[in-house]
Amino acid sequence: MEKIILTGDRPTGRLHLGHYVGSLKRRVELQNSGEFDKVYIMIADAQALTDNFDNPEKVRQNIIEVALDYLSVGLDPEKSTLFIQSQIPQLTELSFYYMNLVTVARVQRNPTVKNEILQKNFEASIPVGFFCYPISQAADITAFKATVVPVGEDQLPMLEQTKEIVRKFNSIYGEALVEPDIMLPDNTVCRRLPGTDGKAKMSKSIGNCINLADDAETVRQKVMNMYTDPTHIKVSDPGHLEGNTVFTYLDAFSRPEHFEMYLPDYSNLQELKDHYTRGGLGDVKIKKFLNSILQAELEPIRAHRKEYEKDIAAVYEILRKGSEKARAVAESTLQDVKNAMKINYFSDTELIKAQAEKYKG
């Protein structure tokens, strides 16, 4: 069986470091590993509209931002198909048939949906479109016969929902769909990188993100203002690592060679942590270290972005071509699905013959 990747993001803002360590970096590695027959990366604008239906302009404006972020981290249109969800009408058609296989109660139990309903104060008036997005996500994944879906931990319930739909479809109509596996980041700190304010998650709406497109000075300021340990007041005070954002980021980003390059007084992260908890190590020093690491990681991404920004029309062209390619693949799956469901009246000569037989005098 072919090894196929599908994943994507909602275009509601620029992508940030949470996306980067949680998913983007891995995608590029997978793309370049040569282990996959096909890689599809989708800008999920239709899904973004399920909770931004009143602000389509926001979604529209952010398509190019996400595309630039994709290209600048190293997703390569020669190796990966980059496309826009709404340009693939077959996904909507698949969703419609999958809706029959899912109960309202089942979607209501989906923890991601539950959370989002609370966050968006949708309790009293859940839009049907929003409620159905886990089903549409199953369409996204199965349309490309994806075997592997690299996403963040918050997407786990979506993958479970997809697997259920695949099993139910295949058991009722015959094996037409492929059951996908989720691929989570190996490094657990990367699974849920906190915001710079120490809050649970980076979120565009809270404004606690470091964006991939932030300039060097903005990144530096965000790092210098990061939440650390409020009880670590004097340098001599013992510091705490628990909930200390700077150390969480070091867990996610620092590598042994960074110490040699930027902080040769320490040979590894454990030594730095030990000194911090003992007392006598100031926050500024570790923040500067983190800043050096992040700048080194982000600089090539920024430079790459600058290049693509020079020819925006070419970026739209990449998306147009990708969408065309994706449409053909989704169409082929849709035909498989309709054949399995026997919604293929005009190409089913047996059916026509049998019906004619029945009505013959």
Q: With CB under 6 A as the rule, give the number of residues binding ligand TRP.
A: 13
The residue at minimum Cβ distance from ligand TRP is: 44
Choices 4-12, 225-233, 254-262, 332-340; region in contact with ligand TRP by CB under 6 A: 4-12
All residues at 6 or more sequence positions from 130 whose CB lies less than 8 Å from its CB, including other chains: 50, 51, 116, 122
137 binds ligand TRP (CB under 6 A): yes
User: CB 163 → ligand TRP: shortest distance, Å?
Assistant: 13
Binding segment for ligand TRP (CB under 6 A), chosen from 86-94, 133-141, 202-210, 253-261, is 133-141
Binding mask 5-24 for ligand TRP (x = CB under 6 A): -xxxxx--------------
> Residue 291 has which token pair?
């800043």
Contacts (Cβ under 8 Å, ≥6 apart) of 359: none
Q: Per CB under 6 A, does 322 bind ligand TRP?
A: no
119: its two tokens? 């966050």
Q: Which residue has the tokens 């399995």?
A: 340
Beta carbon nearer to ligand TRP, 116 or 197: 116
Between 72 and 137, CB nearer to ligand TRP: 137
The least distance separating ligand TRP from the CB of residue 233, rounded to whole angstroms, comes to: 39
Binding residue (CB under 6 A) for ligand TRP from 63, 68, 107, 151: 151
- Cβ proximity to ligand TRP, 47 vs 147, nearer residue: 47
Per-residue DSSP letters for 165-209? HHHHHHHHH-S-----EEE--SSHHHHTPPPTTS-SS--TTTT--
311 burial (CB, 10 Å; 0-12 / 13-18 / 19+) is: exposed
We find the least distance from the C-beta atom of residue 209 to ligand TRP, in angstroms, to be 14
Cβ closest to ligand TRP, residue 27 vs residue 258? 27
Which of these, 279, 251, 281, 249, lies nearest to 266 by C-alpha position?
281
> What's the alpha-carbon Rg for the chain, to the nearest Å?
24
> Distance (Å, rounded) from C-alpha 301 to C-alpha 306?
9
Kindly identify the residues of this chain, within the stretch 37-96, that bind ligand TRP according to CB under 6 A.
Answer: 44, 47
**Per-residue tokens: 340:** 């399995």
Residue closer to ligand TRP by CB (options 27, 338) is 27
Output the smallest distance, CB 278 to ligand TRP, in A.
41
Shortest CA distance to 90 belongs to which of 149, 163, 140, 41?
140
| Least distance (Å) between residue 48 CB and ligand TRP | 8
Q: Is the dihedral of CA 202, 206, 212, 217 positive or negative?
A: negative
Please, which residues have CB within 8 angstroms of residue 261's CB and are 6 or more apart in sequence? 292
- Closest CB to ligand TRP among residues 13, 194: 13
3-state secondary structure of 7: strand
Using the contact rule CB under 6 A, the part of the chain among 57-65, 149-157, 323-331, 338-346 near ligand TRP is 149-157
- Please answer whether residues 40 and 144 qualify as being in contact, where contact means their C-beta atoms are separated by less than 8 angstroms: yes
Least distance between ligand TRP and beta carbon 19 (Å): 8
Binding residue (CB under 6 A) for ligand TRP from 69, 140, 214, 297: 140
Q: How far is the CB of 264 from ligand TRP (least distance, A)?
A: 40
Least Å distance, CB 128 to ligand TRP, is 18
d(CA 244, CA 240): 7
- DSSP assignment of 62-81, as one string? HHHHHHHHHHHHT--TTTSE
Closest CB 236 distance from ligand TRP, rounded Å: 44
List the one residue from 91, 149, 294, 319 that touches ligand TRP (CB under 6 A): 149
Query: What residue type is 157 in one-letter code?
Result: P
Residues that bind ligand TRP (CB under 6 A): 6-10, 44, 47, 137, 140-141, 149, 151, 155
